[in-house]
Structure 1
Amino acid sequence: MDKGIFFLLAILGGVSLAMQGGLNAQLGVQLKSSILASLVAFVFSAFFALLLVLALTRTSMDFNLYRKVPAYLWFSGAFFSVIGICLYYYTIPKLGISTMISLGLFGQLLFATIAGHFGWFGLPNEPLATNRALGIFAMALGIFLMNKN
């Protein structure tokens, strides 16, 4: 498959995350609780994910495979997802969606660059090179300019 398709899918994923952040932040405002909005979002996310699994899974479930998964992998990603999502829903109404998303993306990029450099989480190493460092600097400068009053 052409790499351009993956670029477009990644952009679509980013648009979807920004949309859900804005919509669920408003849900949190209406409910007067960003944590309750997060719970609602995760319950419905689980439901929609279940529908996708049922619709797209072509093979039977291999429970022996599931037993081999380290225990921490069953919950650690969800734990950080709840923290991140709750913080998004809490800060979007206070900062605005473009400010929150730009700062959130910068945090993701910074952490991903460090994690990629060291090959954390068993993922491929992506050494920090000059072009990556310049890209992070450019993004930081762009965020500063976007948020300068």
Structure 2
Amino acid sequence: MNQTGLSLLAVLGGVFLAAQGGFNSNLAVLLKNPLLASVAAFFSSTIFAVAFVLLSSKSSANWTEVKQIPLYLWFTGGLFSVMGISLYYYTIPKLGISTMISLGLFGQLAFSIVAGHFGWLNLPVEPITFKKGAGFVILISGIILINIK
């Protein structure tokens, strides 16, 4: 897939994340518990993910490869997902969806720029350049404008 197609998929992924945050924060309010809403969201996500794997998977790791995967990789992403998503569900009804998503975006951008610069999490190194720094400042300016009351 070309860069334009991948970029459009990334934007669509962002739309889906914002929409699910809206739906599931409503669920959290009605359940009176953002962690319980996370359980419901992750349970249904598991069902959909298994269905998508069964329908689309061409290949998977073999048992020898699976046994070589470090134990922390099986759980850390899930832990961070539950923490991040639960915080979304907790803060959206209190801050509003645009405020929460924009502040969440700030956290994602700040971490991703630092993590990319240093190659954290075993990801490709993406040095901080002037252009990337300027883009970050412009995005932060937009986030500030969104949040000015």
TM-score scaled by structure 2? Answer: 0.96
Residue 124 of structure 2 aligns to a residue whose secondary structure is coil
Per-residue CA deviations over 1:20-74 (Å, capped at 9, x if unaligned) read 0000000001111111000100011011101111111234661111101011100
Other-structure match for 1:36: 36
Q: Which residue number corresponds to residue 14 of structure 1?
A: 14
Q: Paired residue for 1:67?
A: 67
Shift in alpha-carbon separation, 1:61–1:69, aligned structure 2, 3 A? closer
Q: Percent identity?
A: 53
Q: Which amino acid aligns with 1:108?
A: Q
* Partner SS state of residue 83, structure 1: helix
Moved more, 88-97 or 56-65: 56-65
Gaps (5+ residues) in structure 1?
A: none
1:54 aligns with 2:54: yes
3-state SS of 1:137 partner:
helix
Q: Matched residue of 1:22: which SS?
A: helix
Letter of the structure 2 residue corresponding to residue 58 of structure 1: K
Q: TM-score, normalised by structure 1?
A: 0.96
Partners of 1:61 and 1:119 in 2: CA distance: 25
SS of residue matched to 1:141:
helix
Q: Distance in 2 between matches of 1:58 and 1:144?
A: 44
**How many aligned positions are there?**
149
Q: Which runs of 4+ in 1 moved over 4 A?
A: none
3-state SS, counterpart of residue 58 of structure 2: coil
Equivalent AA in structure 2 for residue 121 of structure 1: L
| Residue type of the alignment partner of 1:103 | L
Structure 2, gaps ≥5 residues long = none
Per-residue CA deviation, residues 91-145 of structure 1 (Å, 9 max, x unaligned), is 0000000000011011001000000000111111100111111111111111111
Query: Where does 1:69-148 land on structure 2 (aligned, <5 Å)?
Result: 69-148=69-148
What is the DSSP-based 3-state SS (H/G/I as helix, E as strand, rest coil) of the residue aligned with 1:79?
A: helix
Provide the C-alpha distance between the structure 1 equivalents of 2:7 and 2:60, rounded to a whole number of angstroms: 31
Taking the aligned partners of 1:123 and 1:13, their CA distance within structure 2 comes to 20
